[in-house]
Amino acid sequence: MTLIPQIIFVIVMAIPTYLIVRRIRQIRGNILRGRPLDRNDNSSERWKTMFLIAFGQKKMFKKPIPAFLHLLIYVGFLVINLEVLEFMLDGLLGTHRLFAPYLGDFYNVAMNFFEFLALGVLISCVVFLIRRNVIKVPRFTKPEMKGWPAMDGNLILIIEIALMIAILKMNAADQVLQSRDVAGYHETGKLMISSFLVPLIDQFDTGLVMLTERGAWWFHIIGIMAFALYVTYSKHLHIFLAFPNTYYSNLEPKGKIQNMDAVTTEVKSMLGMPVEAPPANPDEMGRFGAKDATDLSWKSLMEAYSCTECGRCTAECPANQTGKLLSPRKIMMDTRDRIEEIGNGKEEGKSLLGDYITKEEINACTSCNACTEACPVNIDPLAIILEMKRYVAMEESGSPASWNAMFANIETNFAPWKFAPSDRFKWAEDLKND
């Protein structure tokens, strides 16, 4: 027995592993370019949120059909990875179906279960391809989904289909080899899905069947590694980031806006109120609000990487529904594109606000929280929109004129409308005329 396949296996595993680790570091570094935000409180509530939303897929079930299909792929992903464990060990040890002798009859049960899941994944991916490309579900055809995002979505589904076909093909070839009593092929019992493929393979001579089996095995394992690397450059990163992203969810009521403590310090000193801890060096204070991706919190940046571009946020957005430019999904995609660009050192004097996201988009937001409610992984596009509004209002004084008028009214009349403050209690007089 030669060691060559094992050596090739180790190399084939090592290269993508190295690239994946490098890419994970890069993403982590990019996320940490964001501003600090404390999300370490209340860990029991956070674990619960993660368990329900990410692990339990709770919010997916607002739309039952895609939820069911997505669940099949998700469970398939989790469970079929158990089989990948055997793949890895076989590859390293030069064995074949290492677990089969130890598991006895249960091995057949497990393999059949995997096969049913593989078929489920396959069917779901086909239906998803049809939804995207034939039925053209509206949320997949918005302007921000042209080009790469559409291709990315399709590629993921096609790769998953190819990987599932490889598993089934491998099992079918294996069964043929078992039936011919070829040495080294353990009895697995009848495998219910792949046995349908047996007649296609049974016509070949044993050498070709062995080649088919090995080919499918290598295709699957190399495919998995290549896919894992691809995922880190794709919207599909949500399969990992959904977990930390939901753990660090905003647990406050949705209507609550994060206080700007730097402003509180200034307002207090203006009002002559005691200030607990004045900033050590006021000159180093960052800008108010966000002009670029690095002005956002690390959580907003993590959310940008967690977004799988499903578009439920945009589909629910009242501004988007009535034809305005704002699309919460686009806000997340732009943020990711921009932080990637910064991470690659290609800043080119651009900024997130202006070059990616326009004022027209952010000004259309009604802060209704439909987007945050809709997101299956608790992404908060509103937080990014608000930070940009803050930058425009406080650093640029560039808010729409009627907002500036509203600000002036609040300042001088203590109401957003131009009424005399002394008339505020006039409504009670109206009672007399009632």
Which residue's CB is nearer to other proteins, number 56 or number 400? 400
Find the shortest distance in angstroms from Cβ 306 to other proteins. Answer: 21
**How many C-beta atoms surround the C-beta of residue 103 within 10 A?**
15
Q: With H, G, I as helix, E, B as strand and everything else as coil, classify residue 357.
A: strand
Using an 8 Å Cβ cutoff, are 342 and 30 in contact? yes
Using an 8 Å Cβ cutoff, are 332 and 307 in contact? yes
Q: With H, G, I as helix, E, B as strand and everything else as coil, classify residue 379.
A: coil
Which residue's CB is nearer to other proteins, number 56 or number 421? 421
Residues whose CB falls within 8 Å of the CB of residue 206, separated by 6 or more in sequence, listed in order:
177, 180, 182
Find the shortest distance in angstroms from Cβ 264 to other proteins. Answer: 6
Find the shortest distance in angstroms from Cβ 63 to other proteins. Answer: 11
- Written as six digits, the tokens of 49 are 């949120």
CA dihedral 245, 16, 236, 300 (to 10 degrees): 30
Which residue's CB is nearer to other proteins, number 218 or number 403? 403
Estimate to the nearest angstrom the gap between the alpha carbon of 78 and the chain centroid: 17
Which residue's CB is nearer to other proteins, number 23 or number 35? 35
Sign of torsion over alpha carbons 78, 79, 83, 89: positive
**How many C-beta atoms surround the C-beta of residue 349 within 10 A?**
5
**How many C-beta atoms surround the C-beta of residue 381 within 10 A?**
28
Estimate to the nearest angstrom the gap between the alpha carbon of 253 and the chain centroid: 23
Find the shortest distance in angstroms from Cβ 372 to other proteins. Answer: 8
Find the shortest distance in angstroms from Cβ 279 to other proteins. Answer: 16
Q: Which residues of 2-30 are buried (b: 16+ CB within 10 A; e: fewer)?
A: eeeebeebeebbeebeeebeebeeebeeb
- CA–CA separation, 382 and 300 (whole Å): 10
Which residue's CB is nearer to other proteins, number 27 or number 331? 331
Which residue's CB is nearer to other proteins, number 264 or number 344? 264
Find the shortest distance in angstroms from Cβ 319 to other proteins. Answer: 7
Which residue's CB is nearer to other proteins, number 347 or number 423? 423
Q: With H, G, I as helix, E, B as strand and everything else as coil, classify residue 356.
A: helix
Which residue's CB is nearer to other proteins, number 222 or number 260? 260
- CA–CA separation, 72 and 125 (whole Å): 10
Using an 8 Å Cβ cutoff, are 349 and 355 in contact? no
Find the shortest distance in angstroms from Cβ 37 to other proteins. Answer: 14
Which residue's CB is nearer to other proteins, number 124 or number 351? 351
Find the shortest distance in angstroms from Cβ 154 to other proteins. Answer: 29
Find the shortest distance in angstroms from Cβ 305 to other proteins. Answer: 25
Find the shortest distance in angstroms from Cβ 411 to other proteins. Answer: 6
Which residue's CB is nearer to other proteins, number 65 or number 271? 271
Using an 8 Å Cβ cutoff, are 127 and 69 in contact? yes
Closest by CA position to 310, among listed 142, 158, 74, 162? 142
Question: Could you give phi then psi for residue 357, rounded to 5 degrees?
Answer: -115, 135
Which residue's CB is nearer to other proteins, number 17 or number 321? 321
- Written as six digits, the tokens of 410 are 């609040």
Between helices 381-390 and 298-306, what is the axis angle to 10°?
A: 140
Find the shortest distance in angstroms from Cβ 368 to other proteins. Answer: 4
